Structure 1
Amino acid sequence: MNEYESSGVAAGIGGGIAILYLAIIVVMIVGMWKVFEKAGKPGWAAIIPIYNLIILLEIVGKPMIWILWLIIPCVNVVFAIWLYNLVSKSFGKSEGFTVGMVIFPYIFWPILGFGDAKYLGPSAAEAQNGGFGNNPFNNPNNPFNSTNNPFNKPTDHQNNPNDTPPVV
């Protein structure tokens, strides 16, 4: 094999990798396009670099100052992960879905866009309750936050306690 043949093989491998990379990017953009449309925003915004971040911030309900945090090196990694978490929460997904969006965005954006996830609003209920994880003291799904709290309403059995000893 001479030098011309090996350079042709290398060019073919490089071209194949470039085509695969472009296909992955297209799949991710199409998934993001569908997510934008589900949230009631223009889908074409997914292909414009900074404008797509502005639309994502509108979807999750964060202020525009976040654009600054998303373009500053090193800080942007933290805020991008946080933004992905808020996007997944706005569609009713969990932190596990956020991890998937961070590690495999070319798989999870299409899942979010073409799947059965519905747009619930800015960061959904859990993110509005104070951030990550389960907050048991401000959880809208907590059955004891309702008016039917058995610990706040005395019943007839509590008015007549049966703690007196029986008569002998």
Structure 2
Amino acid sequence: MESITDQASITGLMQDYGPAAIIWYVVVAIALWRVFSKAGYPGILAIIPIVNIFVLVKVAGYSAWMTLLYVIPIVGFIFSIFVAFRLGDRFAKGGVFSFFLLWILSPIGYLILGFGGSRYTPRR
């Protein structure tokens, strides 16, 4: 930050996108609450920012330690695809649903899983 105008630009940006980010987070938290409840985990864990990723990875059937793969730049990107496909498999959804609605448009996919008629089948 070299000048006061740079700081003002960041403040203005936060005023523009801050409410949209909060709305986005609330929608995702509501959707994950229902997904976690269907999977047998406490839904309240969907509200806690980093814990919800740990639980999502567990719902997908991986170990919670695998969540640490999200920290590695390229590996995290690829692992998110694996989590989306495994999560879709746990709720008896196909690959197209998993790719487009659980990876690319994840809030919509989570809403469909949570409020739809699909049932969770745990890992065997």
TM-score range, shorter chain: 0.7 to 0.9
- CA distance in 2: counterparts of 1:20 and 1:72, whole angstroms: 28
| SS of match in other structure, 1:38 | helix
Moved more, 96-105 or 26-35: 96-105
Which protein shows a greater Rg?
1
Percentage identity across paired residues of the two chains? 31
Aligned match of 1:54: 54
Q: Which runs of 5+ in 1 are unaligned?
A: 1-6, 123-127, 129-168
Larger helix proportion of the pair: 2
Aligned match of 1:105: 106
- CA distance in 2: counterparts of 1:16 and 1:67, whole angstroms: 32
Q: Which amino acid aligns with 1:95?
A: G
Q: Is the alpha carbon distance of 1:69 and 1:17 closer, same or farther for their aligned partners in structure 2, counting shifts above 3 Å?
A: closer
Q: For each residue in 1:124-154, what CA deviation from the matched residue of structure 2 results, as whole angstroms up to 9, or x when unmatched?
A: xxxx8xxxxxxxxxxxxxxxxxxxxxxxxxx
How many residues end up aligned between the 2 structures? 113
Indicate conservation of the 8 Å contact 2:55/2:64, yes or no.
Answer: no
RMSD over equivalenced CA pairs, Å: 2.2
Q: TM-score with structure 2 length normalisation?
A: 0.77
Cα offset, 1:66, TM superposition:
1.1
| SS of match in other structure, 1:49 | coil
| SS of match in other structure, 1:62 | coil
Cα offset, 1:106, TM superposition:
2.0
Q: Which runs of 5+ in 2 are unaligned?
A: 1-7
Q: Which amino acid aligns with 2:32?
A: M
Q: Is the alpha carbon distance of 1:14 and 1:71 closer, same or farther for their aligned partners in structure 2, counting shifts above 3 Å?
A: closer
Alignment of 1:86-165 (within 5 A): 86-99=86-99, 100-122=101-123
Q: Which amino acid aligns with 2:54?
A: I
Moved more, 54-63 or 78-87: 54-63
Aligned match of 2:71: 71
> 2:85 matched to 1:85?
yes
Q: Is the alpha carbon distance of 1:69 and 1:14 closer, same or farther for their aligned partners in structure 2, counting shifts above 3 Å?
A: closer
| SS of match in other structure, 1:120 | coil
Q: Is the alpha carbon distance of 1:43 and 1:94 closer, same or farther for their aligned partners in structure 2, counting shifts above 3 Å?
A: same
